Amino acid sequence: PTHGESLLQVDKVRKEFGGLVAVNDVSFEVRAGEILGLIGPNGAGKSTTFNLITGVLTTTAGRVRFRGEDITGLPSRQIARRGISRTFQHVKIIPEMTVLENVALGGYLRGSSGTVGAMLRTDRAEERRLFAEAERQLARIGMADRMHEMAGNLALGPQRLLEIARALCSDPSLLLLDEPAAGLRHKEKQALAEVLRQLKGEGMSLLLVEHDMEFIMGLTDRIVVMEFGTLLMEGTPSEVQASPKVRAAYLGT
């Protein structure tokens, strides 16, 4: 799809956990080249929606389409290969490995078996390719100078950037970030926003779960609001900010 056209379609997607309807027939789309925000109170179903799009969880009902193809129920590695990549709400790094090794590790885990066993079977040429790609992606987001540091020594902001570099190694056209700004200091948020704007400028599409209103208002093209598993509204940042029902549900005013 070219700029502005539909890239990802979430069509009446539903997820039940026992009696709990975590995602209740939710539909929205991500357009090529946009940053779409996904907001809502804790427990609204945002992370579950990410897990349904990326194949981490199977849907109870509904379809997910990407580039016009039905990807519902595909294993997460296949979805990644088609061009959807993600970070998780909680930082997943190995503190006693370097930044570079942590980024390259993502490539091993996407390998044939999807387990650490893949690392043991990876040949030298493939290993060099993974490390070269990791280095390239770290440079892309301005982290090249820190690649030999222990990941555990980084502050939270750079750790989140590390995770973005890792997600970029599979060459995605759509990047899903689950609360990337949570817990960051003001300067770190600014650095993160700068990286996300740069990626958008390079033609990437982004779906961003975020709690920080100021952060998301300045960054997104459109926003989808969820509450209790359902889609409450979608609109531009200013439409969402002005909506009485969003204020009632989310802002508590």
Residues from 18 through 77 that contact ligand ADP (CB under 6 A): 20, 22, 40, 42-48
CB of 43 to ligand ADP, least distance (A): 4
CB 161 within 8 A of CB 95: no
- Tally Cβ neighbours within 10 Å of residue 19: 5
Pick the closer one to ligand ADP by CB: 19 or 201.
19
Which residue is closest to Mg ion by CB?
Answer: 47
Residues from 37 through 66 that contact Mg ion (CB under 5 A): 46-47
CB 29 within 8 A of CB 10: yes
**43: partner contacted, choices Mg ion, ligand ADP, none (Cβ within 5-8 A by kind):** ligand ADP
CB of 32 to ligand ADP, least distance (A): 25
- Residue pointed to by tokens 């689950």: 178
CB of 22 to ligand ADP, least distance (A): 3
CB of 90 to Mg ion, least distance (A): 9
What is the separation of C-alpha 129 from the centre of its chain, rounded to a whole number of angstroms? 24
85 touches Mg ion (CB under 5 A): no
Q: Comparing C-alpha atoms, which of 205, 244, 199, 197 is closest to residue 225? A: 244
Report the C-alpha gap between 98 and 92 in whole angstroms: 13
CB 194 within 8 A of CB 202: no
**72: partner contacted, choices Mg ion, ligand ADP, none (Cβ within 5-8 A by kind):** none
Helix (H, G, I), strand (E, B) or coil at 113: coil
Pick the closer one to ligand ADP by CB: 88 or 131.
88
Pick the closer one to Mg ion by CB: 47 or 205.
47
CB of 211 to ligand ADP, least distance (A): 9
Q: Comparing C-alpha atoms, which of 193, 145, 185, 141 is closest to residue 163? A: 141
CB 149 within 8 A of CB 121: no
CB of 140 to Mg ion, least distance (A): 27
- Tally Cβ neighbours within 10 Å of residue 89: 14
CB 199 within 8 A of CB 87: no
Question: What is the total count of residues that contact ligand ADP (CB under 6 A)?
Answer: 11
Judged by the rule CB under 5 A, the positions of this chain that interact with Mg ion are: 46-47, 89
Judged by the rule CB under 6 A, the positions of this chain that interact with ligand ADP are: 17, 20, 22, 40, 42-48
